[in-house]
Amino acid sequence: MNHILKFNLNGEAVEVAVKSNEKLLDVLRDKLGAVSAKFGCGVAECGACTVLIDDLSVRSCITFAVEVEGKSVVTLEGLQADGPTKIQKAFIKHNAFQCGFCAPGFIMSATELISKNPSPNEEEMRHALAGNLCRCTGYQNIVDAMNEVAEDNKGGVK
Amino acid sequence: MDNFRYIKPSTVDEAISSKREYGKKANFLLGGTDLFIAMDKGVITPEVVIDLKGIKTLKYLEEKDGAIFIGAAVTWTELIESEIIKKMVPALWEAADLVASVGVRNTATLVGNLCNAVPSLESGAPLYVRDAVVFLEGKDGKREVSVKDFFTGVKRTVLKDDELMTGLKIPVVKEFGEVYIKMGRYEGEDLAQAGVSVFVDKNNNYKISLSAVAVTPVRATKAEDFLKGKKLTDELAAEAAELALEAIAPISDIRSSKEYRIHMCRIMVKRGLIASVSRMETGVPALSTRLI
Amino acid sequence: MKENLKVVGHDAVRLDIVEKVLGAAEYTDDIAFGPNLLHMAILGSPYAHAEILSIDTSEAKKLPGVKAVITGEDYPEKFGLYLKDKSIFPVDRVRQVGEQVAGVVATSYEIARNATKLIKVEYKELPVILDPYDSIAEGAILIHPDLGNYVIEPWLEAQPGTNIGHLRRIRKGDIDKGFAEAETIVEGEYHIPHVAHTCIETHISVSKFSLDGRLTMWNSTQSPHTQRNIMAVALGMNHKDVRVIAPPIGGGFGGKAGISMEVMAAAGAKSCPGHPVKLRWTREEEFYNSSQRTGLRNKVKIGFKKNGKIIAFKHEMFWDVGASAEYGSNVVNATGFSATGPYYIPNVYIDSKACYTNNPTCSAYRGFGYSEFSFGIESTMDKAAKIMGIDAVELRRINAIKEGEGVAYDVPMNPNGLIECIDKVAEEIGWGIEEKSDDPNKIIAKGFASVWKAPAMPANESSSAFIKFSEDGSINVMVSGMELGQGLLTVMGKIAAEVLGLTLDKVRVELPDTDRNPYEWQTVASHVTWSCGNAVKRAAIDARDKILDIVQRAHFIDKSQLYLEDNGVKCTTQDSFYIPFSDFVITGIQTEHNTWVGGPILGSGMFMPEYTNAMVDPKTGLGGHPMVHYTVGAGAVKVEIDKETGRMKVLKMAEAFDLGKAINPDLSKDQINGGFVQGLGTAMWEQCIFDEKGKMLNDGFTDYKIPTIVDVPRDMNPILVEVPQPDGPYGARGHSEHTMIPVMPAIANAVANGLSVRIVDVPVTAEKIAMRMNDPKYKEEM
């Protein structure tokens, strides 16, 4: 079955022809050029394909493209439309990644977390990011960067 | 995977009539986390996928008439973020918080978890100890089934071809303590190798359920009867844990040996009992504390 | 003279972090190849060992959209890095589950994959060997009956007529006399299973034969030049006509060293000239068809004098290299030379055997065999310490090898800070201080290990570099060392910046492209900081010499008075003299006669160790100089274990390595943290599990558990020690792989120290701890 899929991608209305069985990850990457979301496992276990759908982090590798009809999808490309976010700046400062392949997924998950809980404590933060696998870093610099964001947001509340 | 017909009904009736039309060729889609992977691997090859996410009436989570009602479209994340669940069904909250990862919990649903009916499901044990009731709806009308009667085997349930689970209800209780403990290989995402829920009320009624250690979740009724009316001591907890093992029939697989599952169930029931009583007495549910 | 370093030795933000955090890094699969792109899928063998009787591809070829079907009939030749025992597509038999039997190129991946299902293959099953002990047993079926006919490096010792792909022996001193003189002899037998690299980016190659016959490959690779060489030789092409481009890579860890699936992509592309052909492994294929880490069964026997000094050491290693030893044979070789650990031992007996099995092929994996053998040595050392009543850390100090003492192959040890590493780790972890858990169900224990590792390389491995200046005085550094995440770009950039007096923002280091960047052997062996770094330093010196020469000629100042600083040239005798590079590195300097001196500045540099010699006596392993140097270090963990459940949490880690000189200390510490956690995975959870037919039962993250952010210690303590390497750039030597090595034994030693249970087979799971805790078979006296 073929569809003309309409949704909002990174703030812009898009229209794209898809079949029912096409995966959101493939449509984003191959048809819409949003290649920041990565293929890592194909079964929602590594988090490399994470995108935001209506502000919630979702595994685009196990989402049918047709499921996002009328919804708003944000990938890393859209997140930084106004320049690097606070989270991205902290990740840069702390050398948070090594090979970098998991970075877009981590940033999307971290973005969702901070939007819901601006100053998570370290264990809350680790719990929220536990679905994103990184093989390089041992996670320490990711934690350091996120702790800095959380600390900074605390200051913002005062 | 092959192409399929995708339909997104806006009412339960439409969904049921589509299911009746296509029968076994059609599958319902909710969060889709299980369905998608099964289709991608070619395990199931539906010609029609009926996406239930367009049915607004399936999205409810409320307390009324002495029960908590949870609609089929409610995701794990919505359960975790619900104060009702956190306060009134803390064991389910704990289970929800241990399902997969945030990115999955944002779309996957409790009802989908029940309908998928794999032995390792997180939701079984916490619902068993609360005697939850599920709502099924099909061409012949609606029926309510106790969650304990819902599962018939591995990936098998009483659901008929044209039926869908529209939601469930959990009776409200007062002055109780309950826990869910999951055995995984590590703290990161893992499928449960065993799950234990324990419930206790102020009259010393105990309910114990174990999952992933038999083809369906089970209640350890012998242990429950043994404890009934008794004030828990460490010794009683240990004895009850031993009795609880009579209810299970775990297997050995690559995740754990049968012997270690039994060993762990003994510990989990014992610690679960002690923690439930402690939670009831202190009134402070120790949510998310890892008891193993 | 102490160098006053401006860039080297100081922390900096990685040169590649911005592009990675902004999603600007274009990994191979992110590159747009246009509508001409074709996709490839592979048919894998369902059997671990079987003869191929026939392959019928006719139905697959008929499927609309299919462009080509390739089998071993098209490519009967064998290939491999050190031992050419691997088939592009096998002709006669398959030797592991998943081995590619045929490939299909089609207009979409879906069509290609569907077409593979239409290929009919008739097999005749053969007996399956899954354990190295079975591999070397009398009467075992030969997995490679043609071993004697394979092309092989001259320093490898294949044993035709057996399943042993390579045998490395060390016979130093008199082993029998040594044990006769020993007052305490301690033995142990250990097992390490296969584990997988699990880079988050799976292997991918996009290959294209242009219509005029050039081959271009975009590969996720650690080895662009090695791949070019193998492709050019295999295809009978000129090297200049094969181009390998290495876009950013999503993890390597040795798994993308050498060549594996890329040959299949090239084979697919050859059938479809003018089309780029993409082959990308699924996660399952990544487990089966890239490579895994060697499994090991080993027996360690150590003889001690009363004072704790090791007098004799016997180590028999039976490596499970899987179906091919093309690369794994070098793991066996390198460990054969080094499997004493970082100790001085007068009498050494080592047998290191590459045993073919029908498990997935093994090759390089971070640590290159040292993790596997160190588990047995360091476990045995701890046992021995208890038996002799010597503190476990002290026992390691007593035996720590010093500069000038002979290693196993009797070449003097390089300068090193092993004792300093041991002491710093012991202090950080609180060695000797007893700690109690707040939870009565739990105990707290500590475990220690010290380790070493040398780069494993052919004797004549080499690196080279170009540096070119641009108008604004910025530079592009062209190397073919690969950024794997370890920080190569930053390290190379800093070395160039240091020599050239540049600030780091003026430096860009390019990823490899064999057409543009000069030769590098491979990015493996933790050797590029040292080897490629030397080449970059020499290239920078070459460019500096040209700059000084121009300024001398234009300004009549003697070179000896000129130096480079602040992105320009300064003079030691005239404080006010300063010419920014942007004034002249392209345009030259205008003379008083309005003529010009100079030209575009560029530098080139090359490096090869000229003292190495792999041609040892095969009977003794002596007489050569097979390794360039060892990097030493130590690691320790503090764990909390639940006495009932066996569940263990690592609370704290400390690791110290002597890296000679930290070019960028922060990044070096990152390597320790990352390597520790990768080691933690192999120590506690990771293992490839096979059924009796060789099928892998956990070929996905559902059941192959790698550490997540909640499973790692909250207290990580990386420590850097700097005893300079005489021939390293600024004294540096590599240390990225080493960081994994102490973890498995440190964990097992902590468990033994806390609960008196000795786990001799990793991973050290909660189940093993709980179920063996009260089993006398595993009891280790305190």
Q: What is the CATH number of the domain that holds C763?
A: 3.30.365.10
Cβ–Cβ below 8 Å for B188 and C708? yes
Q: What is the reported pLDDT for B287?
A: 67
B284 has a pLDDT exceeding 90: no
User: If you search the block for the tokens 């956690």, which residue do you land on?
Assistant: C677
Number of Cβ atoms within 10 Å of the Cβ of C236:
6
- Strand-pair partners of C452: C632
Cβ–Cβ below 8 Å for C23 and A103? yes
Cβ–Cβ below 8 Å for B32 and A64? yes
Query: Which of chain A's residues have a Cβ under 8 Å away from the Cβ of B1?
Result: 21
Backbone angles phi, psi at C218, to 5 degrees: -105, 110
Query: Are C424 and C486 in the same domain?
Result: no
Query: Are C496 and C583 in the same domain?
Result: yes
Spatial contact of C69 and C103, defined as CB atoms under 8 Å apart: yes
Spatial contact of C480 and C520, defined as CB atoms under 8 Å apart: yes
C691 vs B: CB within 8 A: no
Q: Give C698 to chain B, closest Cα distance, Å.
A: 8
**B286 confidence band (pLDDT: 50, 70, 90):** low
A158 has a pLDDT exceeding 60: no
CA C746 to the chain's CA centroid: 21
B288 has a pLDDT exceeding 70: no
Whole-number Cα distances in Å, C57 to B105, B160, C38, C217: 44, 43, 19, 27
User: What total number of domains does chain B contain?
Assistant: 3
Angle at CA B180, nearest 5°, toward B176 and B181?
A: 140
Query: Are C706 and C620 in the same domain?
Result: yes
- Strand-pair partners of C463: C520, C607
Domain CATH for C232: 3.90.1170.50
Instruction: Give the integer Cα–Cα distance in Å for B95 and B92.
Output: 5
C299 has a pLDDT exceeding 80: yes
C45 has a pLDDT exceeding 90: yes
C13, C17, C200: best mutation site toward chain A, by most A Cβ within 10 Å?
A: C200
Cβ–Cβ below 8 Å for B190 and C766? no
Q: Does domain A2-79 have CATH number 3.10.20.30?
A: yes
Query: Which of chain A's residues have a Cβ under 8 Å away from the Cβ of C486?
Result: 98
Cβ–Cβ below 8 Å for B3 and A58? no
A115 vs B: CB within 8 A: no
Backbone angles phi, psi at A129, to 5 degrees: -100, 5
Query: Are C636 and C746 in the same domain?
Result: yes
Q: Is residue B50 part of a domain?
A: yes
Given C576, C607, C638, which residue is the final one in a domain? C607
C437, C644, C650: best mutation site toward chain B, by most B Cβ within 10 Å?
A: C644
Q: What is the dihedral of CA C638, C639, C643, C645, to 10 degrees?
A: -170
Q: Is residue B94 part of a domain?
A: yes
230-269 of B, contacting C, C-beta below 8 A: 254-257, 259-260, 263-264, 267
Query: Are C77 and C220 in the same domain?
Result: yes
Whole-number Cα distances in Å, C759 to C574, C635, C731: 69, 18, 39
Class of domain A86-157: mainly alpha
Tell me what the pLDDT averaged over chain C comes to: 97
Query: Are C243 and C306 in the same domain?
Result: no
Cβ–Cβ below 8 Å for A122 and C714? yes
Q: Encoding tokens for residue C622?
A: 């002596």
**B1 confidence band (pLDDT: 50, 70, 90):** confident
Among A41, A45, A142, whose Cβ lies nearest the Cβ of C709? A142
Per-residue pLDDT of C189-199, as tens digits, reads: 999 999 999 99
Q: Which residue of A has its CA nearest to C664?
A: A95
Q: Which residue of A has its CA nearest to B191?
A: A45
Give the up-direction half-sphere exposure of residue C648: CA atoms within 13 A in the CB hemisphere: 30
Query: Are C380 and C482 in the same domain?
Result: no
Given C587, C607, C627, which residue is the final one in a domain? C607
User: What total number of domains does chain C contain?
Assistant: 3
A28 has a pLDDT exceeding 80: yes
Cβ–Cβ below 8 Å for B103 and A44? yes
Lowest mean pLDDT among A114-128, C446-460, C695-709, C768-782: C768-782
A4 vs B: CB within 8 A: no
A20 vs C: CB within 8 A: no
Given B110, B144, B171, which residue is the final one in a domain? B171
Instruction: Give the integer Cα–Cα distance in Å for A125 and A122.
Output: 5
Q: What is the dihedral of CA C265, C271, C274, C276, to 10 degrees?
A: -20
Whole-number Cα distances in Å, C696 to C194, C301, C592, C691: 11, 33, 76, 7
Q: What is the enclosing helix (H) or strand (E) of C580?
A: strand C578-580
Instruction: Give the integer Cα–Cα distance in Å for C209 and A110.
Output: 42
Domain CATH for B223: 3.30.390.50
Instruction: Give the integer Cα–Cα distance in Å for C588 and C563.
Output: 18
- Reported residue count of chain B is 292
Among A62, A127, A131, whose Cβ lies nearest the Cβ of B37? A62
Cβ–Cβ below 8 Å for C689 and B185? no
Query: Are C542 and C648 in the same domain?
Result: no
Tell me the mean pLDDT in the region A60-67: 98
Query: Are C362 and C439 in the same domain?
Result: yes
Query: Are B215 and B262 in the same domain?
Result: yes
A157 has a pLDDT exceeding 60: no
Spatial contact of C283 and C296, defined as CB atoms under 8 Å apart: no
B240: helix, coil or strand?
helix
**C37 confidence band (pLDDT: 50, 70, 90):** very high
59-88 of B, contacting A, C-beta below 8 A: 77
Number of Cβ atoms within 10 Å of the Cβ of B131:
15
Instruction: Give the integer Cα–Cα distance in Å for C349 and C339.
Output: 10
Question: Which residue blocks in chain B are alpha helix, DSSP H?
Answer: 12-22, 33-40, 76-80, 83-88, 90-97, 102-105, 110-116, 124-128, 147-150, 221-227, 234-244, 258-282
Instruction: Give the integer Cα–Cα distance in Å for A37 and A108.
Output: 9
Report ipTM for this prediction: 0.98
Q: Is residue C413 part of a domain?
A: yes
B290 vs A: CB within 8 A: no
Residues 6+ apart with CB under 8 A from B85: B61, B68, B79, B92, B93, B96
Q: Is residue C634 part of a domain?
A: yes
Could you give the percent of chain B with pLDDT greater than 90? 93
Domain hosting C302: range is 295-457+614-778
Question: Which residue blocks in C468-597 are alpha helix, DSSP H?
Answer: 488-500, 531-555
Spatial contact of C207 and C245, defined as CB atoms under 8 Å apart: no
- Strand-pair partners of C66: C106
Query: Are C346 and C449 in the same domain?
Result: yes
Sheet arrangement for strand B194-201: B176-183, B194-201, B206-211, B218-219
Instruction: Give the integer Cα–Cα distance in Å for C666 and C718.
Output: 10
Residues 6+ apart with CB under 8 A from C1: none
C647 vs B: CB within 8 A: yes
What type of residue sits at position B195?
Answer: G
What type of residue sits at position C353?
Answer: K
Instruction: Give the integer Cα–Cα distance in Å for B128 and B112.
Output: 17
Among A56, A62, A113, whose Cβ lies nearest the Cβ of B36? A62
Backbone angles phi, psi at C6, to 5 degrees: -100, -30
Domain ranges of chain A: 2-79, 86-157
A42 vs C: CB within 8 A: yes
Q: Is residue B61 part of a domain?
A: yes
Q: Give A26 to chain C, closest Cα distance, Å.
A: 11
Query: Are B159 and B181 in the same domain?
Result: no
122-151 of A, contacting C, C-beta below 8 A: 122, 126-127, 129-143
Could you give the percent of chain C with pLDDT greater than 90? 99
Number of Cβ atoms within 10 Å of the Cβ of C617:
12
Number of Cβ atoms within 10 Å of the Cβ of B201:
16
Long-range contacts of C408-412 (CB under 8 A, 24+ apart): C408/C170, C408/C172, C408/C337, C408/C338, C408/C339, C408/C340, C408/C345, C408/C348, C408/C350, C408/C621, C409/C170, C409/C172, C409/C337, C409/C616, C409/C621, C409/C622, C409/C624, C409/C625, C409/C626, C409/C627, C410/C172, C410/C622, C411/C625, C411/C627
CA C525 to the chain's CA centroid: 5
Given C607, C622, C642, which residue is the final one in a domain? C607
Q: Is residue B290 part of a domain?
A: no
Q: What is the reported pLDDT for C1?
A: 39
Q: Is residue B288 part of a domain?
A: no
Per-residue pLDDT of C656-705, as tens digits, reads: 999 999 999 999 999 999 999 999 999 999 999 999 999 999 999 999 99
Given B153, B171, B189, which residue is the final one in a domain? B171
Q: What is the reported pLDDT for C782?
A: 65
C184: helix, coil or strand?
strand
Query: Which of chain C's residues have a Cβ under 8 Å away from the Cβ of A137?
Result: 670, 673-674, 677
Query: Are C521 and C594 in the same domain?
Result: yes
Sheet arrangement for strand C100-106: C66-71, C100-106, C38-44, C277-280, C204-209, C215-219, C242-245
Pairing of strands C215-219, C242-245: parallel
Query: Are B182 and B263 in the same domain?
Result: yes
Could you give the percent of chain C with pLDDT greater than 70? 99
Cβ–Cβ below 8 Å for C710 and B191? no
Query: Are B41 and B139 in the same domain?
Result: no
Query: Are B63 and B165 in the same domain?
Result: yes
Q: Is residue B287 part of a domain?
A: no
Q: Which residue of A has its CA nearest to C487?
A: A98
Query: Which of chain A's residues have a Cβ under 8 Å away from the Cβ of C523?
Result: none
C604: helix, coil or strand?
strand
Among C698, C710, C767, whose Cβ lies nearest the Cβ of B260? C767
Backbone angles phi, psi at C746, to 5 degrees: -60, -40
Of C195, C164, C183, C262, the C-alpha closest to C222 is C262
Of C122, C103, C73, C115, the C-alpha closest to C285 is C103
Instruction: Give the integer Cα–Cα distance in Å for B64 and B61.
Output: 10
Per-residue pLDDT of A96-131, as tens digits, reads: 999 999 999 999 999 999 999 999 999 999 999 999
Of C419, C455, C192, the C-alpha closest to C300 is C192
Q: Is residue C7 part of a domain?
A: no
Of C733, C297, C245, C346, the C-alpha closest to C533 is C733
Q: Is residue C197 part of a domain?
A: no
Q: Encoding tokens for residue C187?
A: 């033995």
Q: What is the reported pLDDT for B283?
A: 79
Q: Is residue C104 part of a domain?
A: yes
DSSP A27: I
Q: What is the enclosing helix (H) or strand (E) of C382?
A: helix C370-388
Per-residue pLDDT of C339-386, as tens digits, reads: 999 999 999 999 999 999 999 999 999 999 999 999 999 999 999 999
What type of residue sits at position C32?
Answer: A
Q: Is residue B141 part of a domain?
A: yes
A44 vs B: CB within 8 A: yes
Instruction: Give the integer Cα–Cα distance in Å for B223 and A54.
Output: 47
Among A80, A131, A143, whose Cβ lies nearest the Cβ of C22? A80
Domain CATH for B142: 3.30.465.10
Instruction: Give the integer Cα–Cα distance in Å for A149 and A88.
Output: 10
Query: Which of chain B's residues have a Cβ under 8 Å away from the Cβ of C707?
Result: 186, 188
- Strand-pair partners of B7: B50
Tell me the mean pLDDT in the region C273-282: 98
List the chains bordering chain A where 3 or more Cβ pairs fall under 8 Å. B, C
Query: Are B160 and B223 in the same domain?
Result: no
Pairing of strands B48-51, B26-29: parallel
Domain hosting B118: range is 56-171
Cβ–Cβ below 8 Å for B267 and C765? no
**C497 confidence band (pLDDT: 50, 70, 90):** very high
